[in-house]
Every structure is written in structure tokens, then in C-alpha cells.
Structure 1
């Protein structure tokens, strides 16, 4: 493919070159073309969507401007080493030599587990698979986890427990069009996955009743037939209220429950003890509204429940999702068209990246690292004995705690920015500073890469070919024909290069991404996430294939659970869920009278490393802000568009206030795409969900107050 590019380059001026790829941002993975036009010495770019089964050729503002960061002058073009506090360019050979010397020294002195690997949900399936293999075979460490822990772990844990399988959608997006009722819980598709909104809009035109559960009246909630504006952190209690109305009204699907469900009796007995008026008081939602939502969803012949970060990023996020799955199971809305669960994946490969070995407790194919049969299968593929495979490690945030304690002394960080993305971000920054050696792989010198001893330049979505798995569970092939930028290398090449200097080159001798995928297919064979029947050739012809796909003749599986669930007894499991979390959530008090919740805005993505390097996107939102109800602001003496101080038990930040009547009066909202003093994650609690180790980003108690003049100046200068 590169030779074709060079041939085009030799053509006369005023020619155009077309590159096919996929958007690097959200989990829809919209297909696109970048069209490069040469006009003499001038170069211009156009971006157009490509027809595909998921986004139908649509693109959002982020996808239309993604190329701006790929061509940004600050993009890394060669390895950088920190010498006396300054970055100096070095050769790849010298960079690899430094890595080998430091890794070997750390592991000789502190043990194999002293080296940690921190991965990403934005890399390809091949690279996610290879990173897990690299940690366990080349480094022989148990310490690997990834940034997807911060966004998908609650839904993954809940679905695995209830169904025995975790896939973004249990059916296809086409089913959304004909569902009679849709319930969106803690998901703002309009800003986070905007190219999916036409599915919701068309469903409404077809007669669907839309219920949106969110403390804010988001762009998504504005389309709702019923907006449930609950108190932050009370989602599990709300689901119990829905269940109570469903069961007391006799709206459950008794035949489905008797044949295909276990745990119903226990849940029914638990629900009978609860009082709807208590749930109404706890959630801030009237009993009439809860009843209407429950009856509407239960009476509909078909329906789907969507969940995302709003419900998941809590200390009981996993259990809250399980309770909404209880609603789905009780009403029998699984295993048939236009019925199912949709865990709306956030990052571009949030689904695939969690299936093949980046998680602390997981092996490829969604196998468990503690299961002896699973260990034996993967060990055979990797040419080692099961005893040589490390056991499970700890979650992403817990790795930071181990770094702080000196138990982890070296880290290989790939395409992630934990200094901005983690709760208690200042603590994370200080923990990483304690490492003896930190290597970062990235497109830019991110806030975390600034702390590294060595930065390695990676290729972008236009340059790095590989498969990804989208929000539906559809495996797609990202074509990428643009030559690497400067001396940048693909993530999989960097992994192989490092493995080679560590003496493991024969275990990582791949010539292209397709070679890795061939091994991944074998590794996943027979697992829950079975990719064995998927090939690059099939992906090009079929435009994507749903897993599981166990053979080359298998068409893929768009609709799950038609006959059975994936648990040992083939039944779905209902679980008793308390109204309150086992790990207490912060609640408003005299000193911290408001709820603080966080989220995204349309123009930015995650920690903003890419979108803040796009001029068009940065122009839309160049600074962070806090949304606050005017009545709330009046109580606290705050004026619109002024800088204010937000303070939690973890610290404080300075941010500009935006008045809006679309948010609860007891709640404020801050997006998390900015760094430094505008990084809201600096002041977020470090409490974790005990089931999935998800940080509680969505519920903190906060105080808001105006700044005096000298504080305003200090904030402006320090931002």
C-alpha cells in the first residue's frame, strides 16, 4: 500500500490522493476517507464518510476534524529521552537499548512484577492482544491493566454475571429502529456517540417511547418522552423502584422467567420489602414518574435498555447496571429482535481492547487468567507452560497505588494519559514520579508523557492498520495506507522491538498486523469472545462481523440469547441489589452542599490529547466550565460566565461558570477533557467499586464559591 502512495506522490501537481480509515474517537468507528489535494505547493484536506452497516456513512464534528491532530506540527516524529530535565531526540536503537537496560535492572533488583504495563482502549485488537502477551511472556509480570478500566468495567462485570458474556449490544443497532420502548440510563448519545442518534430519532418516528435517566437535561434528554431527572448516584434505587412497580403490577414475563431465569424469587422477596415512597425520596423522582416509566417499559412488546458512564462510574456501578438488567430480564426483553441490552462503549476499541488480555484478570477470548483450562489453552498458543503464566494483577488505579508504595518501580505506558484521566490526579502524578523508569508511547508529549524518561512516537489512525470491535460487537477492519509520520512506528512494532531486545524476539516475530490477528484467532478459539471464523478477507467483503464467530463458515452472531445464555446452566441470573452502595458515596453536607458529576462535550474526547490539538475542535470549547442552575448560583453569590472555585475533600479547581436551567439545583457538571488546574479529576474521590474497581467519577460532594479579585487573577494566570 505504501508503494501506491509513493507512486501517487510522483504525479504532477493538482492531484488527489484518497486514504481510507476509521474515526479514531468513539466506539461507533465511523468509516471515512481522507482526501488529500495538491494545488502546486499547497495541500488541502477533505473528509467524507464511507457507507457502512453501523453509521451509514455519517460523521460527527470530531471525525471531520480528526486529521488535524494527525498532521499537527507538535506530533512526535522520533524517540525522545529526558536528559537533565530536557527532551533530546535519540535513535530507535539507543531508545531500545535504554529500555532493555532499565527493565532488566528493575526486574533483577525488584522482581518481575515490579514492571507494569498500562494499556489503552484506543489501540487495535492486534495491539491489545500483543500487549497482554508482552506483559506475560516478555516481562513475565502480573501487573497489566488499561484505561478501559475507567469506563467499561462496571457494565462488563454486570453483563458477565447476568448473562455469562459481555458484548456492547446483545443485538444489532438495526433492532433499535423497531423497539417500542427505549430506556437510556446515564448515556448522552447526542454528544458522546452522535452518529447513533439517527437510530433513536427514527425509532421515535416509528412510535417508540423514549425514557432518559440523567440528572441533566442533555441534548439526548431533550428528545425524551419521559426524562427522569434523578439525584446523582441513585440509579440502583431507581431500578428497584421500577422493579417494584413491574412486579406489583403483574407485568413480569412469567413464562420467560420460569424457563430461562434463576434468582427471581430472591429478587421478588427483596423488592417486596421496599417502599416506593422511600425510593422516591432517595432518588428525587416522584412515585408517579417511576410508575409511568415501569409500566411503559414493561407493557411494550419490545424494548431495550442502554447504559453508559453516568450509571456505571459509581461505587456501586456494577450493581446498578445489574439492577437495570434485572428489569430487562424480568420483562423478558432478551433473545429476540428489538429487545436487549446496550452497554454503550466509550473509546474507539473499548469493546475489543477488553476481550483479549489487557485486563488484569483476563486472557484472550475473554478467558479468565485464574481458570486452569483457560491458562492451558493460551499457554499452548504462546509456547510456554501454564505455570509460566503470571496470575492476575490489580486494576489500573490500584497499580498507581502500588507505584506510590514502591511495589511497582517501572512502567510501560501505551497511548494513555492517566495523569488526567484518573481520580485524585495529583496523587497519580506524584506516584508516577516515584518510578525508576517510565516509558510512554504516544502521538504527543501528553501530560503523563512529560513525566517519562523516554517517549516513543506512535502512528495515527491514518497509518496503523488493524481490526477493531465497535459498540455493537461488530469486528471491523481499519484500513490505513498513509506512511508513518517521521520515524513513528506502529504500536505492535514497538512491542515487538522491545520484546526482541529483551531476548523474546522469536515469540514476537510478526511481519504485519494480519499475522498477529491470525494468532489472535487461534487464541480466542473456543472462548466467549470467539474470533476464529473472522479473517481480514472476510472483513473486507462483509464490512464487519459480529462475534462470536467460531468457524470460517459461520455468519457471525448479531442477536445473542435466542436459545440460551452463556452461564453454566444456560440461564440468566437476577441479583438482589440494595438501594445503597456497599462503599458509601459522598453526599452533600454543610461544607460541601452540592453534587459534582462529570462527563463529556461533543467537540472533545477523553483527556483531550488529540482533540486539543485540533484547531477546529479546540475553537468550539477552548476551556473547561461548570454547569450550574441559576437558582443555585444565586444562593452561592455566583454570577454567570465568571470564574469560580470548586472545592471537594480532595482539593479545588478554578473554572468558569455557565448558567443552565437544564440541570438539577443540587448538582453541578464539569467536563473532564482538560489538564492542569482545569482537570476536574484532580478533585474526584478515589473510591472504587468493589466488584469491578471502577472509580466513582460521577458522584462527589462539592462547594462552589465566587473568587475575589486576586484569586481570579491567580486562576487566570495558572490555567
Structure 2
């Protein structure tokens, strides 16, 4: 039967798919593409159930307009004409900021739709572009802007060469690790352990990933930032800081040392319930490893101190000499260097949303607004 190769558009992983048709052209199955250069035969249920979305009786396949309280189908020509007319009238009567737009997950993960969405909303002199990222990862964008100069610079663990990884608030067997897109994550972490490495999962519950590979430790919910403070404190105590690299490539180290000086492992234990001796032992192994990293995901991103926690994580990986190092964290460039298009200018006043004095992130308003 004929097979068409394509890829899933639901998240940033873009897993390769093989779609099989019968001789009449009807879809039979959707399966992982074993020969795909990136996903290598991996795909999650979202992509593998694409035919269920396509064939759902609730699927909308044409524009719908509410008439006398009921939705009726109209042509694309009528829909675009009426929408365009109303947008022009709205801008003329109320101003461009009366127009807003929300970008959901699938189109946010493609290259062109976000570019066009920004252009579309700015054509009305509006800044009300809302983005799904504000629900689960704006903290990483904010920190990357201020620390690396662009929200798009997101270092990720070099899992295949690492000797020690501490992952907080992450469950890659289910999520494939956000910002990494790690196919066959369980196999690759098992390979890390098999070559003598170590994986530690910090999570308030024992996740599906922790049940398959590595060591799980419970952490009190929403205390991740205090764990990071204690880890950096102990990294300094155990002389695990690459002072030469800090001096030549980084700014603000004296301020950071002052901020963490009171966060001993004993104090951190009281808050996080991670034993002081356990924290010290992790820091010792982190320093000794030829390539190590701390990584956090949604569980940290959505916490009360998501930005501070992620910033401290990046500080730890940087000052220890593991930033952009084999086995540590890597800084990818991608096919397009999108960081060039949204460089952060600290001298430029932050644009803010009118309610709550909330700054925009990557020219988008947090969806909660």
C-alpha cells in the first residue's frame, strides 16, 4: 500500500511520521518514520492519532458564522471579506489595540506562522499578540533574553555524552523533554547509566520516567528555587567554580555569591526536604563529572519562582564550566539563527501591558492577561 512521509506539527519535536493509505487513497495507519533523521522511529500518541483528529465528527472544515444564535457554514470568500471589513472598522473606531490575536501550540512550533502573526498584529498598530508559551515556558524566554541576549538561546543537556544529569520537574518519557526534543529518551538515559553515568529526577511524584531509569527523590512542591540556591552555595564551598572562565566571560559574580552565601544545605533541607548530605554528595559528583548539567522543565517553569530558578540553573551550569561543553549543556544554532531577529536590548524600555504593569515577552502579552 502507498506510504506518504510527513511529520507531526503539534509540538516543537516535529517527529517524522509514515502515513499508509489503501489502494483507494483512504488513510489506514499513522506510524513513526523509522528512517527520520531526527526522531528515528519515535513518535508520541498525539502524532500517531492524527487520523482521529482528522476524521472526528467535531472537526471544523469550513468557516462558521453565528446567525440568530446558530453556527452556519459560509464560504472562505465571505468569511475573509467580513472579517477584514470588521477589523478595519474596529481599528478606525477604537484604535489598533482593540484587536488581539492568540497563537496556540501547533502554529507556534512552525517557523513561518509566528513571523506572519507578528506582522499581522503589528499592521494594526496593536501589541496584543498572546502566546501559549506564557502558560509553561515564558520564564526561560525572560532569563535567556537577559542572560544570553536572546530568548531563543536555550542551552540543553548533552544527554548522549553526559556523566551526570539532575532533572527537576521533568518527565521526558511523556513529554520528550521541552526545548530538547529527545526521541527515545528512556533508552538514551539508560545508555547514560550503562556507561557509568548517573541520572537524578527531582519531582513531587515518582514519574513514569523515574520508574524506568535513574534515581528519584521527592522535593517539596514549589521549592525548586531554594534547591538551586543551595546547590550553587555548595558548589562555591566545594570550589567547583571555574574562576578563570567566570572572570573572562561573565559579569555579576560577586553579586551572585552574596545572594547564595546564607543558603547552606541544612537550611535548604528545611525548605525542600532534600537531605543536606544528599545535596552535598550531588555537588561533589557534579564537580567530578566530565560533563554534567542541571535541567528543569514544566514543573519548575510554572512555579512561583520559575524565572529565578531557571536563572540559577543556568548560572550553575555556566560557572562550573559546563555551559556549551561536551557532556554539559549545548548551545544549538539551528538551520535558521532566529536569535538574530529578536536580540534583547537592555537599554530599551520594556513594553508593558496596560493592566498590572506586566512586561511583554518576545513581543507577546502573557495569555493570563
- Specify the TM-score bucket, using the shorter chain as the normaliser: 0.7 to 0.9
Displacement of 1:71 in angstroms is 2.7
Query: What residue is the counterpart of 1:335 in the other structure?
Result: 324
Q: Report whether the alignment pairs 1:130 with 2:113.
A: no
TM-fit CA distance, 1:691: 8.7
- Contact 1:116–1:144, Cα closer than 8 Å, also in 2: yes
| Aligned mates of 2:26, 2:51 — CA distance in 1 | 16
Q: Distance in 2 between matches of 1:690 and 1:231?
A: 31
Matches within 5 A, 1:631-650: none
Structure 2: stretches of 5+ with no match in the other structure: 177-182
| Counterpart residue number, 1:68 | 52
Cα RMSD after superposing both structures: 3.4
Per the alignment, residue 286 of structure 1 pairs with 275
Aligned to 2:76: 92
What is the TM-score of this pair, normalised by structure 1? 0.45
In structure 1, what is the equivalent of residue 13 of structure 2?
A: 28
What is residue 43 of structure 2 aligned with on the other side? Answer: 59
Q: Is the 8 A contact 1:297 1:303 kept in 2?
A: yes
Tell me by how many angstroms 1:17 deviates: 3.2
Decide whether the 8 Å contact of 2:63 with 2:73 is kept in 1.
yes
Greater Cα offset, 21-30 or 147-156: 21-30
The equivalent of 1:633 in structure 2 is none
Aligned to 1:190: 173
- 1:277 corresponds to 2:266: yes
Q: Deviations over 1:390-422 (max 9, x none)?
A: x94649xx6xx99xxxxxxxxxxxxxxxxxxxx
1:158 equivalenced with 2:143 (yes/no): yes
1:335 shift after superposition: 2.5
8 Å CA contact 2:190–2:213 kept in 1: the answer is no
Matched, 1:144 2:129: yes
What is the CA–CA distance in structure 2 between the aligned matches of 1:290 and 1:29, rounded to whole Å? 36
What CA distance in whole angstroms lies between the structure 1 residues aligned with 2:352 and 2:152?
A: 23
Runs of 5+ in structure 1 lacking a partner?
1-15, 344-350, 357-363, 373-390, 403-687, 697-719
Q: Pick the structure with greater CA Rg.
A: 1
Contact conserved, 1:315 with 1:689, CA < 8 A, in 2?
no
Which has the larger displacement, 114-123 or 82-91?
114-123
Kindly state the Cα deviation for residue 369 of structure 1 after the two structures are TM-superposed: 9.1
1:12-51, aligned counterparts within 5 Å?
A: 16-38=1-23, 44-51=28-35
Provide the residue aligned with 2:204 in structure 1.
Answer: 215
2:162–2:291 CA contact under 8 A, matched in 1: yes
Structure 2 partner of 1:112: 96
State which of 298, 305, 315 in structure 2 corresponds to 1:326: 315
2:102 and 2:27 map into 1 onto residues whose CA distance is 37
Cα distance in 1 for partners of 2:216, 2:259 equals 27
Alignment of 1:399-438 (within 5 A): none
Q: Is the 8 A contact 1:32 1:49 kept in 2?
A: yes
Residue aligned with 2:166, SS = strand
Give the whole-Å Cα distance in 1 for the aligned partners of 2:38 and 2:285: 28
Q: How does 1:588-603 map to 2 (within 5 A)?
A: none
Q: Which moved more, 1:84-93 or 1:154-163?
A: 154-163
Equivalent residue number for residue 237 of structure 1:
226
Task: Supply the distance in 2 between the matched residues of 1:75 and 1:25 (Cα, whole angstroms).
Answer: 16
Shift in Å, 1:63: 2.6
Aligned to 1:35, the other structure's residue is in SS state strand
SS in 2 for 1:44: strand
Listed as ranges, the matches of 1:515-530 within 5 Å are: none
- In structure 2, relative to structure 1, the CA distance for the partners of 1:694 and 1:198 (3 Å cut) is farther
Is the 1:234–1:282 Cα contact (8 Å) retained in structure 2?
A: yes
What does 1:294-309 align with in structure 2 at a 5 Å threshold? Answer: 294-309=283-298
